[in-house]
Copies of this chain bind each other. A is one copy, B any other.
């Protein structure tokens, strides 16, 4: 925005954004008033309108400002520590570890609340929801797909459609834990042990479907996945 960083106006701008995020996440779009945001930010309602033309503009700004969180996921799925020469067992362990970290990160209450907020308002602001879906959700999956492509080239996976494999990895990992929070609210979170167990089973299932061959520990002969053909 046009405010010098560190200046009084920039500080107010940041305070309004932070207050708006808190109020929107807690009360939803319709349940939030500009007055309440002003009170929480410690500024006048007039000041809020000086920085943001209307409630819709402010809402769009806080939703799209969550790219920080998206970048965190991008870095996580891009940086799988599997170099050429990594053993099958280590590559599989890296995938299990990724599943655990991905699930723990996405289950943070603030991320789940943001998710609910966007979904709740998708019919009201379809353009905003679509932007978030494409620049957040799909960008993470595309990066994960590139990682699976790399693992396929290294012989650890047998993936012919990397984006589809990324979709499936996410679906196996997230469908149940995310839906439980979406439907039941945030007041009964799963324990870390439950999440880790869920992540491990998802990773094993993904490897059973997309692994280049049966896991070495089973001593089976190499078997191409149906997805490689």
A residues adjacent to B (C-beta < 8 A): 28, 30-31, 113, 116, 118-123, 126, 129-130, 132-133, 137, 161, 164, 167-168, 170-176, 179-180, 182-187, 201-202, 204-210, 214-215, 218, 220, 223, 225-227
Contact = CB atoms under 8 A, between A and B. Distances in A.
18 contacts: A28-B30, A30-B30, A30-B31, A123-B186, A126-B187, A129-B183, A130-B183, A133-B180, A133-B183, A137-B179, A171-B173, A171-B175, A171-B176, A175-B175, A204-B227, A206-B209, A208-B227, A220-B223
Contacts of A121: 120
A168 B129 contact: no
Contacts of A164: 201
A137 B150 CA distance: 36
B122 A119 contact: no
Contact of A116 (B122, B180, B204): B122
A50 B104 CA distance: 47
A218 to B, nearest CB: 7
Given A168-B175, A204-B227, 19 more contacts: A116-B120, A118-B183, A119-B120, A119-B182, A119-B183, A122-B185, A126-B184, A130-B185, A161-B201, A164-B201, A168-B202, A174-B175, A204-B226, A205-B210, A205-B227, A208-B209, A208-B225, A218-B226, A223-B223
A88 B180 CA distance: 34
Nearest to A175: B171
Contacts of A206: 209
